[in-house]
Copies of this chain bind each other. A is one copy, B any other.
């Protein structure tokens, strides 16, 4: 699972940072969190193809988080996409998309399914879930937690051979968790598999003040991506606008026991982000401000 930071800036773009968009590449699909203006072009400048985006999750309806949607869908259509696209967001996303997908002379050339997520609701996919968490911003806003399901344990090849199983397709079926028969013998997967291994977890705050309910939902995240609009010196002012400082983001990372913190939604005032990183690392060591197009491979714990 690869995270590609397509837009790490906040409020409005700067030459260095475009507005919010975070892509998660998982197998052949791309899951996109937020889609600020210019996201389609950020895709074109990255290692990813926007045509592979299957799912989009929008945190809230400030322009720097959603204004890239109509252009993205239009360019998908102009590039002959036929596959459906699914979009989730807070209450109101259906009405908003209804407008965004019909402005000007345009309608999408494929199905776009739009669903509203209540606070705390979960979307269940075969290999992972995405849960929404109510955040604390100056407009209704949700964060997202992507939690992979546990994987089967490691396959013990020697044990399988000891049991008299022939190498071949039976091995694969056992690895996928099926019980198999061979020569009148029944072999259950737990006989040849180690303990189930935990799936990976990514939590993305969107725009928010520090939120203990988000820290709860993000417990044990492999990667926490958090609003860190400014350094600690401007914390009070940013809090008035419903944003966090990098120090506050680090406190959430510490409280939820995250393995790693990415600071995002960086104010366009910063050219040099060393103070943001310093303020965060005073609280939580493994904190980083990614640049646009930076990629991070999320590894399994074991």
Contacts and interface: CB of A to CB of B under 8 A. Distances in A.
The binding surface of chain A is classed by DSSP as loop
A74 B61 CA distance: 13
A37 B71 contact: yes
Contact of A12 (B18, B61, B78, B99): B78
Contacts of A286: none
Contacts of A103: 61, 63, 96, 99-100
Contacts of A71: 12, 37, 63-64, 67
A211 interface: no
Contacts of A37: 37-38, 40-41, 67-68, 71
Given A37-B38, A71-B37, A99-B99, A45 B105 contact: no
Interface string A248-275: 0000000000000000000000000000
A139 B105 contact: yes
Contacts of A212: none
A41 B18 contact: yes
Interface of A: 11-15, 18, 37-38, 40-41, 44-45, 60-64, 66-68, 70-71, 74-75, 78-79, 96, 99-100, 103-106, 139
